[in-house]
Amino acid sequence: MKRAFIFPGQGSQSVGMGKALAETFPQAKAVFDEVDEALSQKLSAIMWEGPADELTLTANTQPALMAVSLAMVRVLEAEAGLDLGRDAAFVAGHSLGEYSALAAAGSLTIADTARLLRIRGNAMQEAVPVGQGAMAALLGLEYDAALEVARAAAQGEVCDAANDNGGAQVVVSGHKSAVERAVAIAQEKGAKRAVMLAVSAPFHCALMQPAADAMREALARVTVHAPVVPVVANVEAAPIGDPDAIRDALVRQVTGTVRWRESVAYMASQGVEAFYEVGSGKVLTGLVKRIAAGASATALGAPDDVTAFKASLQG
């Protein structure tokens, strides 16, 4: 059976995430310690004890979610015998989750990934003054229809398709007034729901260009290895493996659309039957079930999940 391992993005965080893993498995504790050291911050304390508003700061959320995902990967390697190079056909991640996927596949060290995500989080937050940008979810419109809504709403401002999540769920991002127009137009076009999202910045749109520039500089300073398993990139919805191509994709990802629907569909078209969401939450598990009919999707985030996964790997 072909498997893919997928890694969650922003929105999957919750206070307490990863704590049980750290208390149960020394391999997980070591990852959280490594991230704390790389950032010169006790990020693990914020993850496990809160406060929630501090965890949801973009600069904290991004490395924190990566830490949980990589802690789980290390536990699966130690306890279940997981070898991504052998056991995975592909890895992929949603937005910041792409960094987790690359770290899991050996392209980036955990310490470098934590530092990159800290830079990314700060740069994305600072790219647009608070209050000027917004994001909205358009539910019940397919991607092409949502794209038309975004174009109609722009009216000289920025309104881009940020996330094509599948299951007729598209997120638009840009200037606040343009995104508000998109919500109204989407409702006129028959969207089931169109709602503004409680986000701190307009991610994955042209307004993020300053953050893309910051990531180009940051990525030039780190070593990127070829991954041990093909990484399906958000902006390509196809696998990449060359280190320069990886850097380029990560830079373009900041302003580009997260092509999640196409990424999952691609992996399914290549014979992937089982998707495993590694880390906090079950958001991607739900999306996969709507995109890849007939494929299984399982979330791996808690100590109890390790035993079940080990049985499935051996079976």
pLDDT band of residue 315 (cuts 50, 70, 90) is low
Query: What is the structure's pLDDT at 199?
Result: 87
Q: Are strands 2-7 and 272-278 parallel, antiparallel or unpaired?
A: parallel
Alpha helices, H only, 82-222: 84-87, 97-104, 110-126, 143-154, 176-188, 209-220
Domains of the chain with CATH codes: 2-126+207-314 (3.40.366.10), 133-199 (3.30.70.250)
Cα–Cα dist 79/34, whole Å: 20
pTM exceeding 0.95: yes
Give pLDDT tens digits for 135-166. 999 999 999 999 999 999 999 999 999 999 99
User: 288 with 6: CB under 8 angstroms?
Assistant: yes
Which residues are known catalytic residues?
95, 204
Give pLDDT tens digits for 36-84. 999 999 999 999 999 999 999 999 999 999 999 999 999 999 999 999 9
